[in-house]
Amino acid sequence: MQCEHPCSGGRPGNGDDPAAAAQYYLGIVEENPRDPGAHCRLGLALKDLGLLDEAISCFREALRLDPGLAAAHAGMGVVLHIQGRAGEAAAAFRRAREHGDTTPSNLHIINALTGRRTDRPPPGYAAHLFDSYAPRFDESLVRMGYETPMLLRRELDLLDASRTFSRGLDLGCGTGFSGLPFRDRAEHLTGVDVSAGMLARAAEKEIYDELHCCDLLSFLEADGEGYDLAVMADVCVYLGRLDPVFAALCRRLRPAACLLVSIEHGSGDDFVLKPSGRYGHSPAYVERLARTAGMRVARRRSAVIRRDGGKDVMGELMVIVAPGP
């Protein structure tokens, strides 16, 4: 089970090679065996190599030297989470918070691991998470065989392969991976994301005509242009309750607009915060929201929407159509 937490990837100042990072920090530890920070950074690099028991040993040594080192508690929590030790992981994240690491990610993953129901992540969670992911985001998507945007494009083509959309909107556009499959279907394409780091990388690719750095609900609730194509690929998993999003979308979508949505399956009638830190949604919940907004689900099918811990994660692909003029 992979933890959605900034500490679950990335090595401060180490570049993109975990083996080189581990070798570098091993040298630092050998030169400064009483440096808790070096042991902690070595633990993060070993975790990235999949050497989880060795990583835990490093975090333990860091905490022996400095019991208040919040980064080591958080790193320990990530590894314990990956190992499926939810109770111990939650306790480690709590200790990280007690020692000053009050980042939204720690609170969110504690909620996820302890089964607490929340309507949305803590404020700032998504920005903090994806700013930390931005340097390696595309590489991670390729490594886990992520195809959700392309699968959504296929569903749109099966519904109507010839239509050209005048204004397209990619909500949660990230680095542009989700917008690229729709570039040729939209005369004008706008990307919205809460992470400035992600948008900086999206801008380099020149996929979008406009980019906006804000949370998607604030963007939708502001006055502005209408759209006849909107994409939400792998976005709902970070939102929780979708009622306000659909209500806002209803006001911004033009007649006969197409809304493409992917969700991760969840238990219950509406949505649930899963131990992974992502939200799962019931397809019936999304269909109910669409009907309330006056829209209809034109296409829907189950699909593998990501890989997590080497296992397929099932979800739903939906093409939702607004009423015509």
pLDDT given at position 201:
92
The answer regarding whether domain 140-321 maps to CATH 3.40.50.300 reads: no
Selection from 55, 37, 48, 50 nearest residue 8 by Cα: 48
Q: What is the C-alpha to C-alpha distance for residues 222 and 206, in angstroms, rounded to an integer? A: 25
In DSSP notation, 143-167 reads HTT--HHHHHHHHHHHH-SS--EEE
pLDDT given at position 74:
96
pLDDT given at position 221:
93
pLDDT given at position 73:
97
Question: How do the pLDDT tens digits run along the chain, 325 residues long?
Answer: 455 665 554 333 334 578 999 999 999 999 999 999 999 999 999 998 999 999 999 999 999 999 999 999 999 999 999 999 999 999 999 999 999 999 899 999 999 999 999 999 998 888 888 887 777 777 777 777 789 999 999 999 999 999 999 999 999 999 999 999 999 999 999 999 999 999 999 999 999 999 999 999 999 999 788 999 999 999 999 999 999 999 999 999 999 999 999 999 988 889 999 999 999 999 999 999 999 999 999 999 999 988 877 788 999 999 999 998 7
Direct distance between the N- and C-terminal alpha carbons of the chain, in angstroms, rounded to an integer = 46
- 286: alpha, beta or left, given left = phi > 0 and alpha = psi -120 to 50? alpha
The answer regarding whether domain 6-116 maps to CATH 1.25.40.10 reads: yes
Query: CA dihedral in degrees (91, 94, 100, 101; nearest 10)?
Result: 90
Q: What is the C-alpha to C-alpha distance for residues 74 and 94, in angstroms, rounded to an integer? A: 9
Which pair of structure tokens corresponds to residue 163? 């239509």
In DSSP notation, 82-103 reads HTT-HHHHHHHHHHHHHTT---
Please give the distance of CA 166 from its chain centroid, rounded to a whole number: 28
Q: Are 51 and 75 in contact (CB under 8 A)?
A: no
Map out the domains of the chain as residue ranges. 6-116, 140-321
